Amino acid sequence: GNVWEWCYDTTESIESGKSYVYKAYDHSNVYRRLKGGSWCNNTEVCAVAVRGNSQATYAYSNAGFRIVRTVL
């Protein structure tokens, strides 16, 4: 995409080879995962596997989110 993707994932580390288990919102962890790079990053950062993080209360011109809904 053209912007970093804000994700609900927290920034805790995930052990290699283990499945990630989503948890209820954790008020003690204000950081959320950013994925994928944006239009203002170099080409090495613009990849689906790239991860970053930031406080969930921050706003950036190069970060967005996806609306997801279950198909009825």
pLDDT in tens, the chain (72 residues): 689 998 877 777 666 666 666 666 667 778 888 888 899 998 888 888 888 888 888 889 999 988 888 888
pLDDT of res. 38: 92
End-to-end Cα, the chain, rounded Å: 26
- Domain map (residue ranges) of the chain: 1-12+28-72
3-state secondary structure the chain: CCCEEECCCCCCCCCCCCCCCCCCCCCCCCEEEEECCCCCCCCCCCCCCCEEEEECCCCCCCEECCCCCCCC
One-letter amino acid for residue 68 of the chain: V
31-41 pLDDT tens trace: 888 888 899 99
